[in-house]
Amino acid sequence: MTRKFYWQKGLTLAEVLVATAIVLFMIGAIATLVSTAFSVSRREREQNTTTEEARRVLDRVSDELRGAQNIDWNRNGRIDDYYRNEYWLLSGDQYEMEFYVFDDRLGETVKVRYFLEDTYLKRQVTRLGGSSSGCEQEPGPGQMTLPPTVVASGIRNLEQDLADGVVGNEPNKKVFCYLPDEGSLGGCCLRMPIDLPPTVKRIRINFMVDADTQQEPSEAVVRTAISPRGGMIDWPLDGSTPACRDCVDNDGDGQVDTDGSATGLPGEAVGCSNAEDQEETEIGYECDDNEDNDNDLLIDFRANGSGDPQCLVSTSPEEDGTACSDYLDNDGDGKIDFGTQPDNDPGCDSELDISELGTTDCDDGIDNDTDGRVDFGTAPNKDPGCDQPSDDNERGTLACDNGVDDDTDEGIDYPGDAQCSSVEDDSEL
């Protein structure tokens, strides 16, 4: 009988089952690793694709913004940016902006609006049409707003902002940030929505990109900043309609043309002498001449309240009409006009105040202690008991001005005490 060694023996059923289980487990583990690797690789590819698409869109938006154009609607050779929508930027918020630019595909100047809707960045074009003649909505007949198109997806700025619970407080989550200078990427954003587009000189764009927020890799950020060149074109391109018959309130004073009845507004009081006038402004009326005559950075009467507060109507002949904005010390207290500087008069609550007098005893124009002297100031009749306009008592520290009967003769101060020759006396004896 031949003897078999242990390595020559066959495997038992139990050993076969165990070996099979081990092999199957190893195959499953390897398959899981391979599947996970492919899944991660797929998500990375998706994120990379989304990020690269966002970069291309960012480049496209940047190119458009650099070519943004001012439009000289009334063809007067300047940009009347405060009231006629002639500045390149029409409106701006953290998730939306609108501006004028030449569209190469359409071959014309258009309004372009970019806005974020959910996680999609969209672009919408408004064709401006022909001339602005007639009482049509500016810029005139033929204006057409085209349907918006999606230009980028996976933009998570708004989604992240809403997740934080407070929309708009995080600067890095704003898609659009408007800067007052042409510096670098940094700087503080102007308050939004933008009230005065001409204050914007540079726009920072910031995309938070994530193809799938539930999976790795995490979001990527792409950003840039652009300073538009802001060239100027005339409009309408096919001829000019005079400002005094275009049915537009060109100077923002709430009056239109020689007869504004077609618009529901009154006609120009002084700006239009006839329907062929090219401007609705009028030289000789400082509140209707489109000039900053009093150098306060505010111009003329504006129906929306953005003009010079000294102009109560467009026919006011001067822009510097009140005591609190005339550069004069009207009450003799050494302080001038309304403002926040130390030399501004505390009696002025606004530029519209017609008096620099305040409410305190030393600034109210009244001789409150009946000593013949009035308020704080440097003039001879000013009260020595007042150290500054904000003092609320004209009594001083000298014996003849302190409100006390120092010599107990029942006469108090000047002129009540016969021993006091003036409020400057320091003895009632």
> Rounded to whole angstroms, how far apart are CA atoms 334 and 171?
43
Same domain, 111 and 186: yes
**Structural domain boundaries enclosing 119:** 46-234
CB 179 within 8 A of CB 201: yes
- Identify whether residues 285 and 184 lie together within a single domain: no
**Closest Cα partner for 149 from 117, 110, 122?**
122
Q: Is residue 149, in this structure, part of any structural domain at all?
A: yes
Q: How far apart are the first and last CA of the chain?
A: 153
Q: CA distances (Å), 176 to each of 123, 154, 188, in order?
A: 14, 16, 12
Q: Are residues 271 and 153 in the same domain?
A: no
The band of 171, judged by pLDDT with boundaries at 50, 70 and 90, is low
Per-residue model confidence (pLDDT) at position 276: 74
Model confidence band, residue 375 (pLDDT cutoffs 50, 70, 90): confident
Give pLDDT, residue 137.
36
Task: List pLDDT tens digits, range 55-74.
Answer: 898 999 999 999 998 887 65
pLDDT computed for residue 61 by the predictor: 92
Last residue of a domain, one of 234, 269, 301: 234
Does a structural domain hold residue 133?
Answer: yes
Identify whether 11 is part of a domain.
Answer: no
What is the pLDDT, as a whole number, of residue 157? 78
Beta bridge partners of 178: 203
Residue % of the chain over a pLDDT of 90: 10
- Do both 117 and 260 map to the same domain? no
Model confidence over 225-242: pLDDT tens digits?
A: 888 887 777 665 444 567
Residues 96 and 206 occupy one common structural domain: yes
The per-residue pLDDT for 31 is 67
Task: Record the tokens describing residue 316, joined without a space.
Answer: 């006011």
Q: Answer whether residue 290 is part of any domain.
A: yes
User: Is 251 found in the same domain as 228?
Assistant: no
Last residue of a domain, one of 206, 234, 262: 234
**Does 286 fall in a domain?**
yes
What is the band of 148 on the pLDDT scale with cuts at 50, 70, 90?
Answer: very high
Residues 6+ apart with CB under 8 A from 257: 243, 244, 245, 246, 247, 263, 267, 268, 272, 275, 280
* 138 lies in some domain: yes
Q: Are residues 187 and 274 in the same domain?
A: no
The pTM (predicted TM-score) of the whole model is 0.48
Number of domain units in the chain: 2
Q: Residue 165 domain-assigned?
A: yes
In a domain, residue 370? The reply is: no
* Whether residue 139 sits in one domain with residue 51: yes
Residues 209, 306, single domain; the answer is: no
Residues 196 and 273 in one domain: no
Residues 188 and 306 in one domain: no
Question: Is 8 strand, coil or helix?
Answer: helix
Q: What is the pLDDT of residue 168?
A: 47
Does one domain contain both 230 and 269? no
Least confident of 178-187, 282-291, 381-390: 178-187
Among 204, 234, 264, give the residue marking a domain's end. Answer: 234
Is residue 257 within 8 A of residue 242, CB to CB? The reply is no
Range among 77-86, 177-186, 214-223 rated most confident: 177-186
